[in-house]
Structure 1
Amino acid sequence: MVAFDKCDTRPAHIDAILNGLDRYNPETTTVFQDYVAQQCEDRTFDCYANLALLKLYQFNPHLLQPETVTNILAKALTVFPSPAFSLCLALLPAHTQPFPSAANAEAQPASDFVESIQKLTSLSTLLESAQYAQFWSTFNSDDLYADLVADVAGFEELVRIRIAVEVGKTFREISAEVLEQWLDIRNRETLEKFVADVCSWEVQKSGAAITVKVPTNKENEARSEVKSERVGMEMFGRVIRRGFEQPV
């Protein structure tokens, strides 16, 4: 897994800020916000820089931009199962958390910003628990979800690719019907094109049944593992010796 402080696409001026004292300067907030917008457009993701911005918001609550925060969380969804979403969520105000304390819930009435975070968190939970069909069902159930990810170019495609990666780690073969639900691709021709062009998987047809074959990789390969332990006599000697030792 790539370290959070590494990003091949990070601009030089952002890298300079992150490696200097200016990362704590509130005036760099606008620079980081522009960088978040750039990530949304370029389909890139820089977790370390985004966390730095959220930390600035934490120190300077008056500078917080709700739209930028939701964009960061939406981008974090596209790199699951990375812990990026949880790390970003942990830096947000207490009243925005999915399970706020009773005191915070009473002190801070629900707002559009809080509702947005709650909805994105529910999507993250579904992805992390591999409930992919439920994820798409929830995502398509409310236009607010589409609004929350509107700034993230290729959001649905990026999530589909991540789901496909996880499927490839687990399965050697899977029915096209199940894969349609997990990827939210209802057109069979579109599914076959995605499977072949994006995933490099094979589609096999046997009558009405269509099966997708996933090439063997180090994650989905069935391997027998034999574990053995060697216990020498000297180990038993230490145990017996301890039994005769007088307590201090």
Structure 2
Amino acid sequence: MVAFDKCETRPANIDAILNGLDRYNPETTTVFQDYVVQQCEDRTFDCYANLALLKLYQFNPHLTQPDTVTNVLVKALTVFPSPAFSLCLSLLPAHTQPFPTTQEAQAASQTSDFVESVQKLSRLSTLLESAQYTQFWSTLNSDDLYADLTADVAGFEELVRIRIAVEVGKAFRSITTESLEQWLDLRNREALEKFVTDVCGWKVDGTAVSVPTNKENEARSEVKSERVGVDMFGRVIRRGFEQTA
């Protein structure tokens, strides 16, 4: 699995901006915004470029485009459990945070559609990070706003399913199809088997799915031995024979 902060498909012009002084130039926001659109379309993710854009928004609030910010957050969801979402969220204004601390922030959070969007996406992130996959899909399907927020990100649901499967593969050697149906939101048996076999490379056997052994789910016994010599307790033994004053 490629690290979340690596992007092999980063265009040369974006790389040049990130490695030069232009990354602090407000005029480059349009370039980064177009690059976000590209990421949404071709299913790539460039964390450093997106963070650079959010930092520009932080320095130049008047340039902020809410739709671009939410697209960045949605893209970050597709690479959980990396810290990408938290890093992006930390660069947004205080009043957009899931738990505003000041009265001004709380007042602002109650009157902004943008803040509502950020907080809804934060809710999805929390569910994914805490492995509440069934609740994640239930929440995602519970409000049309979620569909609007993820509409620009091609293959969003599939990308999330792949990440969930990766995490499941780290923890299980065998799992029931019923559990996978809920965790992947694939209620159709044919669709589930196709995803499990074609995408994950796992084997379906009746009501169970077998996950190949990997370095994460392999059962390993750990034997610890301690070598304790008498000399290590020499001082304690000597004190036992010492006369009290």
Asked if TM exceeds 0.5, the reply is yes
Q: Partner of 2:135: helix, strand, or coil?
A: helix
In the alignment, what sits opposite 1:157?
Answer: 158
Which structure 1 residue ranges, 5 or more long, are not aligned?
Answer: 241-248
1:246 aligned partner? none
One-letter identity of the residue aligned with 1:116: S
CA displacement, residues 7-31 of structure 1 (integer Å, 9 cap, x when unaligned): 1010000000000000000000000
CA distance in 2, matches of 1:232, 1:62: 70
1:97–1:118 CA contact under 8 A, matched in 2 = yes
- Quick one: distance in 2 between partners of 1:137 and 1:215? 29
- 1:85-164 maps to which residues of 2 (within 5 A)? 85-103=85-103, 104-106=105-107, 109-164=110-165
- Does residue 176 (structure 1) correspond to residue 211 (structure 2)? The answer is no
Q: Which residue of 1 aligns with 2:66?
A: 66
In the alignment, the residues of structure 2 paired with residue 193 and residue 107 of structure 1 have an alpha-carbon distance, to the nearest angstrom, of 46
Task: Tell me what 1:82 maps to.
Answer: 82
Q: Deviations over 1:11-56 (max 9, x none)?
A: 0000000000000000000000000000000000000000000000
Q: Retained in 2: the 8 A contact 1:4–1:48? A: no
Aligned residue pairs, count: 236
CA distance in 2, matches of 1:32, 1:224: 49
Structure 2 equivalent of residue 37 of structure 1: 37
Q: Is the 8 A contact 2:109 2:115 kept in 1?
A: no
* Map of 2:46 onto structure 1: 46
Task: Give, in angstroms, the shift of residue 105 of structure 1.
Answer: 1.2
Say which is worse superposed, 121-130 or 219-228, in terms of deviation. 219-228
Residue 202 of structure 1 corresponds to: 203
Is 89-98 or 219-228 further displaced after alignment? 219-228
Q: Distance in 2 between matches of 1:178 and 1:24?
A: 47
Unaligned runs of 5+ in 2: 238-245
Amino acid at match of 2:33: Q
Cα-to-partner distance string for 1:161-191 (whole Å, 9 max, x where unaligned): 0000000000000000110000000100110
TM-score by length of 1: 0.90
How far residue 225 of structure 1 moved from its aligned partner, in angstroms, is: 1.3
Q: TM-score, normalised by structure 2?
A: 0.91
Q: Find the counterpart in structure 2 of residue 245 from structure 1.
A: none
For 1:92, the aligned partner's letter is: L
1:220 to 217, 221, 231: 217
Q: Which moved more, 1:214-223 or 1:106-115?
A: 106-115
Structure 2 CA distance for partners of 1:126 and 1:237, relative to 1, 3 Å: same
CA distance in 1, matches of 2:23, 2:234: 58
**What is the match of residue 242 of structure 2?**
none
Could you say what secondary structure the match of 2:205 adopts?
A: strand
Report the secondary structure of 1:144's partner residue: helix
Q: 1:193 & 1:27 partners in 2: Cα distance?
A: 46
Tell me the percent identity. Answer: 83
CA distance in 1, matches of 2:234, 2:62: 67
Distance 1:238 1:57 in 2: 65
Contact 2:109 2:116 survives alignment (8 Å): no
**Aligned alpha-carbon RMSD (Å):** 2.0
